[in-house]
Structure 1
Amino acid sequence: MGDSLERLGSEEALGPESSIMKEELSMDIDPPFKESLATTEDWRKALDKVVPAVVVLRTNACRAFDTEAAGASYATGFVVDKRRGIILTNRHVVKPGPVVAEAMFVNREEIPIYPIYRDPVHDFGFFRYDPAAIQFLSYEEIPLAPEDACVGLEIRVVGNDSGEKVCG
Structure 2
Amino acid sequence: MGDSLERLGSEAVGIDAAMKDGSSSDLCMEIDGATPFRENVATAEDWRKALNQVVPAVVVLRTTACRAFDTEAAGASYATGFVVDKCRGIILTNRHVVKPGPVVAEAMFVNREEVPVHPIYRDPIHDFGFFRYDPDAIQFLKYEEIPLAPEAASVGLEIRVVGNDSGEKPECKAS
Normalising by the smaller structure, the TM-score range is 0.7 to 0.9
Shift of 1:135: 1.1
The residue aligned with 2:105 is: 101
Shift of 1:156: 0.2
Which ranges in structure 1 are unaligned for 5 or more consecutive residues? 1-8
Q: Which amino acid aligns with 1:45?
A: K
The residue aligned with 2:84 is: 80
Relative to structure 1, the CA distance from residue 45 to residue 118 in structure 2 (aligned partners, 3 Å threshold; closer, same or farther) is same
Query: Which residue, 1, 4, 9 being the options, matches 1:20?
Result: 9
Helix, strand or coil at the partner of 2:48: helix
Q: Does 1:138 align with 2:130?
A: no
**More contact order relative to length (CA 8 Å, sep ≥ 6):** 1
- Give the share of equivalent positions with the same residue, in percent: 77
Partners of 2:71 and 2:80 lie apart in 1 by 23
Which ranges in structure 2 are unaligned for 5 or more consecutive residues? 13-28
Helix, strand or coil at the partner of 2:49: helix
Q: Does 1:34 align with 2:37?
A: yes
Q: Deviations over 1:113-152 (max 9, x none)?
A: 0000001111100000111111111112100011111111
Large movers: runs of 4+ above 3 Å = 27-30
Shift of 1:77: 0.2
The answer to whether the 8 Å contact 1:57/1:76 transfers is yes
Shift of 1:29: 4.4
Relative to structure 1, the CA distance from residue 68 to residue 42 in structure 2 (aligned partners, 3 Å threshold; closer, same or farther) is same
RMSD: 2.0
The residue aligned with 2:2 is: 10
Q: Does 1:55 align with 2:59?
A: yes
Provide the aligned length of Structure 1 versus Structure 2: 154
The residue aligned with 1:46 is: 50
Q: Which amino acid aligns with 2:127?
A: D
The answer to whether the 8 Å contact 2:123/2:129 transfers is yes
Shift of 1:22: 7.1
Q: TM-score, normalised by structure 1?
A: 0.85
Q: Deviations over 1:1-46 (max 9, x none)?
A: xxxxxxxx434xx796x132976xxx86452651242100000000
Relative to structure 1, the CA distance from residue 29 to residue 162 in structure 2 (aligned partners, 3 Å threshold; closer, same or farther) is farther
Relative to structure 1, the CA distance from residue 125 to residue 15 in structure 2 (aligned partners, 3 Å threshold; closer, same or farther) is closer
The residue aligned with 2:75 is: 71
Q: Which amino acid aligns with 1:125?
A: G
